[in-house]
């Protein structure tokens, strides 16, 4: 099956005879079969091959629409009269080569590469944003009761000592003096801590270290933020 060598006079004669009673290579409308054969012809057939020349000029008018013509382009040897030997080459190999050189075929592969590139770019952007996003830090709000020795303790100095305690992840907040009886007042002070860095044991140890002013320290309230 085939037309032989369509660049030779013999091949063009076969094509002309084949089109004597046909408008197209296959069916009743221009298709990828016509595109495949058209591309194998080196130029317009001579005037004496009127059927081939008519067909050639007609298919040439579809130059801009070739890619949209129906059908799937096959190897050239798959078209033409059945009694003509296919001289386009070794069937399977040429079929693969023709598919690879398909100038009017699908651009799905190119689109697939574009989609892959876009997906990779979006993944990279997501990973970048994820890396820049700060990790969630667990924090707690703690209300401390700091009790003095007696009513003669300098409470302003006691608070100064407490606030002098500095640590990464520790922020002191508001405070007030709360009466406890017999003229004695305790210091009630708020602080916010990062749980991984500051604990109540550490606070108690460092506050009670000011033993000239502090008798004891208790946790009045503890809330996760």
Percentage of the chain lying above the pLDDT 70 cut:
84
User: Maximum distance among all alpha carbons in the chain?
Assistant: 129
* Percentage of the residues of the chain whose pLDDT score is greater than 90: 44
- pLDDT tens digits along 54-76: 999 998 988 888 888 888 888 87
117-138 pLDDT tens trace: 888 888 888 777 777 766 678 9
Q: What is the pLDDT of residues 105-116, one digit of tens each?
A: 444 555 577 788
Query: Among 3-17, 154-168, 192-206, whose mean pLDDT is lowest?
Result: 3-17
Question: Which of 209, 204, 210 lies closest to 191 in space, CA to CA?
Answer: 204
- Structural domains present in the chain: 9-78 (no CATH), 139-224 (3.30.70.60)
| Radius of gyration of the chain measured on its C-alpha atoms | 45
Rounded CA-CA distance 5/124 in Å is: 52
Spatial CB neighbours of 147, under 8 Å, sequence gap ≥ 6? 180, 184, 186, 187, 214, 215, 216, 217, 218
- Residue 198 above 60 pLDDT? yes
């Amino acid at each position: 099956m085939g037309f032989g060598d369509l660049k030779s006079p013999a091949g063009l004669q076969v094509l002309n005879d084949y089109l004597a009673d046909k408008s197209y290579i296959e069916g009743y409308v221009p298709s990828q079969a016509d595109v495949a054969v058209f591309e194998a012809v080196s130029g317009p057939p001579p005037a004496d091959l009127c059927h081939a020349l008519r067909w050639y000029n007609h298919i040439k008018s579809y130059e801009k629409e070739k890619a949209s013509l129906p059908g799937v382009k096959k190897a050239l040897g798959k078209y033409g009269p059945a009694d003509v030997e296919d001289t386009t080459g070794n069937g399977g190999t040429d079929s693969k080569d023709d598919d690879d050189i398909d100038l009017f075929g699908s651009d799905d592969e190119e689109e697939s590469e574009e989609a892959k590139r876009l997906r990779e770019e979006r993944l990279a952007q997501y990973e970048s944003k994820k890396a820049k996003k700060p990790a969630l830090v667990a924090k707690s709000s703690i209300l401390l009761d700091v009790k003095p020795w007696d009513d003669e303790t300098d409470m302003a100095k006691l608070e100064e000592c407490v606030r002098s305690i500095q640590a990464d992840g520790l922020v002191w907040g508001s405070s007030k003096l709360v009466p406890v009886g017999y003229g004695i007042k305790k210091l009630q002070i708020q602080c916010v801590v990062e749980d991984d860095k500051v604990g109540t044991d550490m606070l108690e140890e460092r506050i009670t270290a000011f033993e000239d002013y502090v008798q004891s320290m208790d946790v009045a309230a503890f809330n996760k933020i």
